Chains A and B, each alone.
Chain A
Amino acid sequence: MLRYDVVVIGGGPAGMAAAIAACDSGAKTLILERDVRLGGILNQCIHQGFGLHYFKEEMTGPEYAERFRKEVKKRDITVMTEAMALSLGADRTVTALSPDTGLVKVQAGAIVLAMGCRERTAGAIALPGTRPAGIYTAGMAQKLCNIDGYLVGKEVVILGSGDIGLIMARRMTTEGAKVKLVLELMPYSSGLKRNIVQCLDDYGIPIKYSHTITRVVGNPRVEGLYYAPVGADRKPVLSEEQYVSCDALLLSVGLIPENDLLNGLDVKMSAVTNGATVDENRMTSLEGVFSCGNVLHVHDLVDNVSEEAEIAGRAAARYSKGELPAGDSVSVSACDGVRYALPQRVNLGDGKVRLYFRVDNVYKDARLVVESGGNRLVGKKFQVLAPGEMGSVEIDRSAICGDVTVRLER
């Protein structure tokens, strides 16, 4: 059995940042990465827009990953690639498998989960019609294009306006495909505003809000699809069905934290984020197991992932050395227009804690209110809040006098 102070599962942006922070806090650290190299999904995100907050410099995904890879290399961090964590024990043992090492069992002082997320599929949304070749998640099409160098089609429709879908609209166009239409079920985009403008508007790609697909046509290859506007109940109005031909349909209909490793373990999960619930150290309800990045909740900016992972990595190192105090905590819950707030628990103590939150609709001129035991800790006015953009506010822990609620006041 190998022994490490901190075992980080996943070597994407979250895993690398957590490992660096853990190592810098004096922990003997191991990264288990299932791919052939570190970097995770960043390696296939060749567009700009990474690092503006974290490095104060705009860079592409592979460049952002490279910065972190170099930092990992500089340190005494053990990296196992092509190493898939198969199981996790409540005693903080990890079993992993790789072609180089075979089965590896590791006893960890603390574990940082950084496995990222996966995309919702055509199956998950029960897409009606045929199930031919030509229908892929945007991320799979992105991987095939940017890493392998192949396009999945030339006449493309995109369902969902998540950021990967918008980015792929521009990528496919740049590489010579015609993106005919983007369909979004909701009346607003779940992607970043800059992606709507620079990926769709710049190229004259139309987006239809409050529309969805009613039927995919074609077998064995997609030939086209019917789509229709949706009513207030988000059900399609079939009398207004229209047809568009295409040879590829990309889906950008949501991301789901990939917490399969936690199945069977007694870890408290959030039904809203599909990640574990954590305290401000990003420790889950299972002692010594931390979670960060997209496996905890889906982020829109990698910069926030890096920051969150550093918190988890540092805390994991402290936990492994017995330096992370356990004490009383209060719960943090969200309501009135706030879909979730994270962390979901805050330990009592001093200093500031940043609460991250996501709203459930587009709100203009709303006040984000944080209350504790009847006291208002924060009342911050936002000109606009949108589901696609995570917000944050800082609270003073010494002011906490009971469970915390995060809500919108309009």
Chain B
Amino acid sequence: MNTICIMCPMGCGLTIERVGDEIKVSGNTCKRGEVYGQAEFTHPTRTVTTLVRLEGGGVASCKTALPVPKERISEVVAAIGKLTLSDDAKIGDRLTVGDGEFVFEIVITGTPSSC
């Protein structure tokens, strides 16, 4: 796969491939790029930030407590989209979302009343 390294403004174009048991990164100009490239190749993850509905009609912002696999971002957003929280939700509140095999935790990051 090809991607751009985000470890510094250099933005090296990385080519990453599996060679036997090894994940080979080329195009990088430093060690950090190699580590980044290997991670992006084997288990790319992202912290998802989005909004969650409040009972009163407003919205609160939230994030996944941990980075989730990149390919599951849309599932994460859809699951959060089904929630409606009480208006007294506070920054730092945590709740578990999802059911069955895919469960994740979200953290409230901002509310209309936080001040």
Contact = CB atoms under 8 A, between A and B. Distances in A.
A and B touch in their complex, CB below 8 angstroms: yes
Contacts of A46: 49-51, 61, 63, 109-110
A389 interface: yes
B4 A386 contact: no
Interface residues of B, number: 30
Nearest to B113: A37
A243 to B, nearest CB: 29
Contacts of B6: 193-194, 197-198
Contacts, number: 93
Given A36-B115, A63-B110, A384 B8 contact: yes
Contacts of A39: 115
B110 to A, nearest CB: 3
Contacts of A192: 9
A214 B4 CA distance: 30
A193 B61 contact: no
Interface residues of A, number: 40
A205 to B, nearest CB: 14
Interface hub of B11, B73, B77 (most chain A Cβ within 10 A)? B11
B58 interface: yes
Interface in B44-68: 46-51, 53, 57-59, 61, 63
A60 B63 contact: yes
B97 interface: no
A198 B3 contact: no
A205 B34 CA distance: 25
A48 B68 CA distance: 14
A198 B112 CA distance: 27
A66 B51 contact: no
B23 interface: no
Interface of A: 36-39, 43, 46-48, 58-63, 65-66, 69, 81, 145-149, 174-175, 192-194, 196-198, 201-202, 364, 383-386, 388-389
Given A60-B61, A65-B110, 14 more contacts: A43-B110, A46-B51, A48-B47, A58-B47, A63-B109, A145-B51, A175-B77, A192-B9, A193-B5, A196-B4, A383-B8, A383-B29, A384-B11, A385-B9
